[in-house]
C-alpha cells in the first residue's frame, strides 16, 4: 500500500512539473473562467436601414465575428426608415443609455455613402463608442452623454482587407472598425482627431403663454402611435390632470382626446393621449393605429393649448 501511495504522489508531482514547463513554453491554451473574460468580450450593438430581406446584415456580422469572435452582437434594429438619419439618431439616443460603458455601437444609415462625407468613431463621456458616418447620427447621444473625442477613420489596417466598395461601407469600414475596438485595439489608432462633427438640427418643443408647440417626429413601430418631442413634464405645466379631455391640433386637424395613463383605460378603438415609456407625450388608439386612422405622416406640427 505504501509503495502504491508513493507512486501516485510521484506521478502527480511529475504531471505538475510537466504542466508548468509546458505553460512556460506557451504550449497550454489559456481557459477563460467567469472572472476572466476573453480579450474581445465587448458588446457590439448594430443598427442600420438595411432591412433583413437580403444578406447585408449577415455579411456585416460575419466581418465583425472574423475579427472579434468572442464579442456578442445585438441587433438594435435594421428597419430604420430608409435614409432617415433623424430616425436613426433618435433610436441611438433612446437605446444607448441602457447599455454599459465599453459598448460599441455600429450605426449605418448612410445616404451619402461613397461621397466626401467622413467615417468616424465618436467616444462619449460614458466611454461608449459609436462607429458611423459623419452625418448627424450621433447628435442625440452626444447631446445627452457628452463627447470625449472624435476620430476620423483613415487607417487602412483597420478596414476590411481586399474590399474597397464605394457603396457598402457597412461591410468594409464600419464593421471591421467596430470589431477592432471590441477586441481591445486602441481606438485612437483608427485615424486623426476631429475638432468638429456633423450635427442635426433637432426640433425642440416650445412652451408659450397659450400652450405648447411641438412636433410629431416619428411613429412607434407598427402600432401607429405618434412619437412627439413634447416631454411629459412640459405637458403637465399646461394644467391637465388624468381623465381631462385635451384639445390637440395635428397639422390642420383638431381633435379632443382623454389624457390617460395607459391604453386599456379607454375602450378598444378609442384614442387617448398619454406619457410614453420615454417620458414623452404620445397619441394612440387602444388596439388600433392612430397614424392610419387620422392620416398622420411625420413630421407634423403639434399644438396643445393650456387647460
- pLDDT of 164 reads 80
- pLDDT of 41 reads 61
Helix axes of 175-182 and 56-67: crossing angle, nearest 10 degrees: 30
CA angle 216, 217, 218 (to 5 degrees): 105
C-alpha distance from residue 157 to each of 130, 153, 166, 177 (Å): 19, 10, 18, 9
- Domain encompassing residue 266: 206-305
C-alpha span between 222 and 188 (Å, rounded): 40
Same domain flag for 65 and 183: yes
Which residues fall within 8 angstroms of residue 6, CB to CB, at 6 or more apart?
Answer: none
Same domain flag for 278 and 219: yes
Of 190, 219, 242, the one marking the end of a domain is 190
- pLDDT of 162 reads 87
- Threshold 0.85, pTM exceeds: no
Same domain flag for 101 and 156: yes
Q: Which single residue is written with the C-alpha cell 477563460? A: 32
Of 129, 157, 190, the one marking the end of a domain is 190
Q: Is residue 28 part of a domain?
A: no
Q: Is residue 181 part of a domain?
A: yes
Of 164, 190, 216, the one marking the end of a domain is 190
Q: What's the start-to-end Cα distance of the chain, in Å?
A: 95
Q: Is residue 80 part of a domain?
A: yes
C-alpha distance from residue 61 to each of 160, 174, 275 (Å): 13, 11, 36
Q: Is residue 201 part of a domain?
A: no
Q: Is residue 31 part of a domain?
A: no
Burial grade of 167 (CB within 10 A; 0-12, 13-18, 19 or more): exposed
Which residues fall within 8 angstroms of residue 210, CB to CB, at 6 or more apart?
Answer: 305, 306
Cβ atoms 281, 228 nearer than 8 A: yes
- pLDDT of 28 reads 34
- pLDDT of 202 reads 87
Element (H, E) at 271: strand 271-275
Q: What is the CATH number of the domain that holds 223?
A: 2.40.30.90
Q: Are strands 225-231 and 72-77 parallel, antiparallel or unpaired?
A: unpaired
pLDDT, one tens digit for every residue, the chain (307 residues): 444 444 545 544 554 454 444 333 333 333 333 333 445 568 999 999 999 999 999 999 999 999 999 999 999 999 999 999 999 999 999 999 999 999 999 999 999 999 999 999 999 999 999 999 999 999 999 999 999 999 999 999 999 988 889 999 999 999 999 999 999 999 999 999 999 999 999 889 999 999 999 999 999 878 999 999 999 999 999 999 999 999 999 999 999 999 999 999 999 999 999 999 999 999 999 999 999 999 999 999 999 999 9
Total domains present in the chain: 2
C-alpha distance from residue 234 to each of 57, 140, 214, 223, 274 (Å): 39, 19, 11, 25, 13
C-alpha span between 168 and 59 (Å, rounded): 10
Q: Are strands 119-124 and 147-152 parallel, antiparallel or unpaired?
A: antiparallel
Cell of 275: 406619457
Same domain flag for 98 and 165: yes
Element (H, E) at 46: strand 43-48
C-alpha span between 232 and 257 (Å, rounded): 16
**Gyration radius of the chain over CA positions:** 26
Q: How many CA atoms lie within 13 A of 196 on its CB side?
A: 4
- pLDDT of 14 reads 56
Task: Give the number of other CB atoms < 10 A from CB of residue 65.
Answer: 16
Q: Is residue 23 part of a domain?
A: no
Task: Give the number of other CB atoms < 10 A from CB of residue 14.
Answer: 10
CA angle 195, 97, 139 (to 5 degrees): 35
- Identify the three-state secondary structure at position 184: coil
Same domain flag for 181 and 217: no
Q: Are strands 129-133 and 104-108 parallel, antiparallel or unpaired?
A: parallel
- pLDDT of 221 reads 79
Same domain flag for 74 and 146: yes
Q: What is the CATH number of the domain that holds 178?
A: 3.40.50.10790
Backbone angles phi, psi at 13, to 5 degrees: -65, -40
Amino acid at each position: 500500500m505504501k509503495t502504491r501511495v508513493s507512486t501516485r504522489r510521484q506521478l502527480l508531482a511529475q504531471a505538475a512539473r510537466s504542466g508548468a514547463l509546458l505553460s512556460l513554453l506557451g504550449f497550454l491554451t489559456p481557459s477563460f473562467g467567469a472572472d476572466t473574460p476573453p480579450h474581445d468580450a465587448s458588446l457590439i450593438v448594430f443598427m442600420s436601414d438595411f432591412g433583413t430581406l437580403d444578406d447585408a446584415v449577415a455579411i456585416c456580422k460575419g466581418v465583425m465575428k472574423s475579427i472579434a469572435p468572442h464579442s456578442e452582437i445585438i441587433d438594435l434594429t435594421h428597419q430604420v426608415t430608409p435614409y432617415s438619419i433623424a430616425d436613426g439618431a433618435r433610436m441611438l439616443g433612446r437605446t444607448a443609455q441602457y447599455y454599459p460603458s465599453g459598448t460599441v455601437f455600429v450605426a449605418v444609415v448612410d445616404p451619402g455613402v461613397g461621397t466626401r462625407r467622413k467615417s468616424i468613431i465618436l467616444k462619449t463621456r460614458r466611454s461608449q463608442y459609436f462607429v458611423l458616418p459623419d452625418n448627424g447620427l450621433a447628435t442625440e447621444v452626444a447631446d445627452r452623454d457628452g463627447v470625449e473625442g472624435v476620430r476620423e477613420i483613415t487607417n487602412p489596417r483597420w478596414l476590411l482587407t481586399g474590399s474597397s466598395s464605394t457603396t457598402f461601407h457597412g461591410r468594409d469600414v464600419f464593421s471591421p472598425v467596430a470589431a477592432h475596438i471590441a477586441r481591445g485595439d486602441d481606438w485612437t489608432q483608427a485615424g486623426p482627431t476631429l475638432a468638429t462633427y456633423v450635427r442635426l438640427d433637432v426640433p425642440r418643443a416650445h412652451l408659450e403663454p397659450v400652450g405648447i408647440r411641438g412636433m410629431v417626429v416619428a411613429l412607434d413601430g407598427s402600432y401607429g402611435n405618434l412619437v412627439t418631442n413634447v416631454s411629459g413634464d412640459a405637458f403637465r405645466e399646461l394644467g391637465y390632470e388624468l381623465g381631462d379631455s385635451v384639445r390637440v391640433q395635428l397639422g390642420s386637424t383638431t381633435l379632443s382626446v382623454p389624457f390617460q395613463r395607459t391604453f386599456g383605460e379607454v375602450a378598444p378603438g378609442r384614442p387617448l393621449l398619454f406619457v410614453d415609456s420615454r417620458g414623452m407625450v404620445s397619441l394612440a388608439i387602444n388596439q388600433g393605429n392612430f397614424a392610419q386612422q387620422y392620416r398622420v405622416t411625420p413630421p407634423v406640427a403639434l399644438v396643445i393649448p393650456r387647460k
